[in-house]
Amino acid sequence: MHEPVLEARGLHSFYGDSHILHGVDFTLARGEAVGLMGRNGMGKSTLLKSLVGVVTPRRGEVVAFGRRTRGMKVHEIARLGISYVPEGRGIFANLSVRENLNMAARADADGRCDWTFERVLDVFPRLAERLGHGGQQLSGGEQQMLTIGRALMTNPQVLILDEATEGLAPLVAREIWRIIGVIRDTGIATILVDKNWRAVSDITDRNVILVKGRVVFEGSGGALRAQPELLSEHLGV
């Protein structure tokens, strides 16, 4: 296996007195795509937020690119090469598509700029046709594309997508899945959370199921499909 780029070791995270993560271990290797699954409220978003420093774990540690992140600020962790796209869309509604993309641009931690404006537009031909449009003029699917495009403009080594297809029509969601597949093929390590476990596991190398803040399964899409009882018990399908 490749070296880990992001790791959680024995994470315990809380909101006030609510104990949400109960000793979660999680690893993402360089270039790997991992699906994070589980029913509503099981702690998926909390794990993502703990990995990127939005939530500070009370116990355990997060290691990003070999560095312990405890005490680091959210933007400092991001600068190591992690782009986190939370639920909902992170664009500037009053700026154009072009401005939204250019604003996000930065080199990676080694000063490399593999993802240029042009390359991002190659992945999102739809955005290329709407460069002058304001964010608020875009459809939900286009806003999601712009959100992911902005994430790529930061030249991340790790891309974390929480519910990227939420609320999108099936055809639009399918286009987003195609794009996520293209991004994975470029070698960016990816963590995906999405209600559509089938679409997730078609793309990922490995999948992790969380139940009440604990990892109960880790395996390939094939292993997941071969255990329908897991799917019905933990994913409600």
Ligand X SMILES: Nc1ncnc2c1ncn2[C@@H]1O[C@H](COP(=O)(O)OP(=O)(O)OP(=O)(O)O)[C@@H](O)[C@H]1O
In the complex, the smallest distance separating the C-beta of residue 16 from ligand X, rounded to whole angstroms, is: 7
Bridge partners, residue 96, by sequence: 134
* Nearer CB in complex with ligand X: 38/156: 38
In the complex, the smallest distance separating the C-beta of residue 124 from ligand X, rounded to whole angstroms, is: 26
Residues near 4 by beta carbon (within 8 Å), at least 6 away in sequence: 27, 28, 29, 30, 63
Q: Are 61 and 68 in contact (CB under 8 A)?
A: yes
In the complex, the smallest distance separating the C-beta of residue 26 from ligand X, rounded to whole angstroms, is: 13
* Nearer CB in complex with ligand X: 44/184: 44
Q: Are 50 and 11 in contact (CB under 8 A)?
A: yes
In the complex, the smallest distance separating the C-beta of residue 21 from ligand X, rounded to whole angstroms, is: 8
* Nearer CB in complex with ligand X: 10/187: 10
In the complex, the smallest distance separating the C-beta of residue 153 from ligand X, rounded to whole angstroms, is: 26
Residues forming the site for ligand X (CB under 6 A): 15, 18, 20, 38, 40-46
Backbone angles phi and psi of 86, in degrees to 5: -70, 175
171 exposed, middle or buried (CB, 10 Å; 0-12, 13-18, 19+)?
A: exposed
* Nearer CB in complex with ligand X: 86/219: 86
Q: Are 41 and 193 in contact (CB under 8 A)?
A: no
* Nearer CB in complex with ligand X: 40/110: 40
